[in-house]
């Protein structure tokens, strides 16, 4: 799509800021939104800039949980005064909540300029220009995808890692989930297009990709190949320079042994799996229309660990689904104890209008849900720390992140992810080479917590490997008048490209 968004001369260049709520699919969509705005001539504001400092502020929203509404309207309320002070400010709302609420957003926040949905991200620059020209808000929501998002321009934040959508939409009918009505039926990309995008990322410096799909392992259903996903994983293993391959999120009902074999036998597919459980109660799973039961789920984990003994497995859990009894909840605690998850993303059930479960009569009182939530998180925190303790003394390779941890100022440590996606904070021994974002360091685990690992290595325990991703980071610094990291090892040169910061289970 060719944008008609007008921009002033360079010294008066308009700026943009994209705020993302929700899952990895939303993060990936925000890359496209940023790419579209940059392609239209706008410049990104500094990461530390507050909301309202940009000329165009975009909210890419989530609708999965009830607090998504409150979060959005809270931000919009804060921008109302800024909009009155600075009429040239444009505010756009997109994503799942926009697809669901449509004109409700403009009724509740009439100072918003553009509302667009999940199926027409590419229309944003045109809608912004139309709103500016006509001096009135623009609402455009499509019922089906107009252009596959991966064909749109992209602006990534990390040079080492990239998201690659292999499908959009979902064919399942989980009673708690509003996603199928907002993202539509599953639509698969052709393998050749996916591999070409991955190759382009690698050519530009990426060494890690995460394959994305609402149910990523059902890939191939549209063109009738039940083993398409495992074939795609194996094909990723043939891409020279691609060091790490991940995927999210698979569905247990469709998780087949050919995928496990492909994971175990493909050298760059990481020993890490995010497998949503949702509930350990077979009765609740049936009410959720999750077409598997706890025995099948645990069997999948057993087979994964048989082929990959050190695999780290994470999950999603919902507490307080309508009709959940204490006995049902105890089943969840039992399955969580048996599963030994490295981490779990645990949510309190919230009724979403338009989903079957929202109309169920046996909604659980908030106080009961909260109490069960606290018991479940306490159990999982204990398990996570016990599982992390097994890493103590192991030597691990860490892909250095673009940003340091929250306590890096006081600890002096850098951060990164291990091959099994655990977060590790590490110090660089005095006199040792300083790694660049995207480089790989090898260090021993010297301390563990429930949510992270720590390494304070001696000089002989520490090594750094310069990577093409680190080279790309250097080039980006030079392009922005920055300087390479002091002491960074130098490698080969190539073409620079920005990529997203890869995070576990967002």
Give the annotated binding-site residues: 23, 62, 96, 170, 174, 177
Torsion of Cα atoms, 82 then 87 then 90 then 92, to 10°: 70
Q: Residue 168's beta-bridge partner residues?
A: 187
Residue 239 phi/psi, 5-degree rounding, is -85, 110
Q: Residue 92's beta-bridge partner residues?
A: 58, 114
Report the length, in residues, of the chain.
506
Q: Residue 455's beta-bridge partner residues?
A: 426
Kindly give the interhelix angle for 257-265 and 228-236, rounded to the nearest 10 degrees.
0
CA distance from start to end of the chain: 29
Who's near 447: CB < 8 A, 6+ residues apart? 392, 453, 454, 455, 456
**Cα 416 → chain centroid:** 16
- Order across the sheet with 15-20: list the strands: 43-44, 15-20, 56-61, 90-95, 114-116, 138-140
Report the C-alpha gap between 272 and 119 in whole angstroms. Answer: 31
Query: Do residues 434 and 440 make contact, with C-beta atoms less than 8 angstroms apart?
Result: no
Binding residues for [4Fe-4S] cluster: 23, 62, 96, 170, 174, 177
Closest CA to 408 of 416, 419, 397: 416
Q: Which long-range contacts (CB under 8 A, 24 or more apart) does 220-228 make?
A: 220/188, 221/171, 221/186, 221/188, 222/167, 222/186, 222/187, 222/188, 223/188, 223/190, 226/256, 227/256, 227/258, 228/188, 228/191
């Amino acid at each position: 799509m060719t944008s008609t968004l007008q921009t002033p001369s360079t010294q008066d260049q308009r700026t943009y800021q994209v705020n993302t709520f929700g899952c990895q699919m939303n993060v990936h969509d925000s890359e496209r939104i940023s790419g579209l705005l940059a392609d239209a001539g706008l410049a990104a504001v500094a990461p530390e800039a507050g909301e309202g400092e940009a000329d165009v502020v975009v909210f890419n929203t989530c609708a999965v949980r009830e607090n998504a509404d409150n979060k959005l309207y809270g931000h919009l309320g804060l921008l109302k005064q800024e909009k009155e002070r600075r009429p040239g400010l444009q505010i756009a709302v997109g994503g799942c909540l926009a697809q669901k609420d449509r004109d409700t957003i403009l009724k509740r926040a009439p100072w918003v300029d553009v509302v667009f949905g999940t199926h027409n991200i590419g229309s944003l620059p045109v809608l912004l220009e139309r709103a500016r020209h006509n001096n009135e808000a623009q609402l455009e929501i499509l019922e089906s995808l107009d252009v596959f998002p991966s064909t749109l321009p992209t602006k990534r934040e990390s040079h080492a890692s990239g998201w690659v959508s292999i499908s959009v939409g979902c064919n399942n009918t989980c009673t708690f989930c509003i996603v199928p009505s907002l993202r539509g039926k599953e639509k698969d990309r052709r393998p050749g297009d996916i591999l070409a995008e991955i190759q382009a990322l690698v050519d530009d410096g990426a060494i890690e990709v995460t394959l994305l799909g609402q149910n990523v392992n059902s890939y191939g259903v549209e063109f009738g190949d039940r083993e398409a996903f495992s074939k795609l994983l194996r094909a990723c293993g043939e891409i020279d320079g691609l060091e790490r391959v991940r995927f999210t999120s698979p569905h247990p009902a469709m998780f087949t042994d050919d995928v496990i074999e492909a994971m175990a036998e493909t050298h760059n597919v990481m020993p890490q799996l995010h497998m949503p459980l949702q509930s350990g109660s077979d009765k609740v799973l049936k009410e959720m229309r999750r077409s598997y039961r706890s025995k099948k789920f645990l069997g999948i984990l057993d087979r994964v660990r048989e082929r990959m003994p050190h695999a780290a497995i994470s999950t999603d859990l919902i507490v307080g689904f309508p009709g959940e009894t204490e006995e049902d909840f105890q089943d969840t605690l039992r399955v969580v104890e048996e599963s030994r998850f490295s981490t779990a993303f645990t949510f309190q059930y919230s009724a979403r209008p338009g989903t079957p479960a929202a109309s169920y009569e046996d909604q659980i009182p908030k106080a009961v849900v909260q109490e069960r939530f606290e018991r479940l998180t306490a159990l999982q925190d204990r398990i996570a720390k016990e599982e992390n303790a097994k890493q103590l003394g192991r030597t691990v390779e860490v892909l250095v992140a673009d940003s340091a941890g929250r306590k890096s100022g006081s600890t002096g440590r850098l951060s990164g992810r291990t091959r099994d996606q655990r977060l590790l904070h590490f110090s660089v021994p005095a006199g040792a080479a300083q790694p660049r974002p995207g480089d790989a360091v090898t260090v021993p685990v010297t301390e563990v917590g429930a949510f992270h690992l720590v390494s304070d290595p001696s000089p002989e325990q520490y090594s750094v490997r310069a990577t093409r991703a680190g080279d790309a980071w250097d080039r980006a610094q030079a392009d922005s008048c920055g300087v390479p990291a002091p002491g960074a090892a130098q490698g080969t040169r190539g073409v620079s490209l920005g990529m997203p910061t890869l995070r576990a289970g967002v």
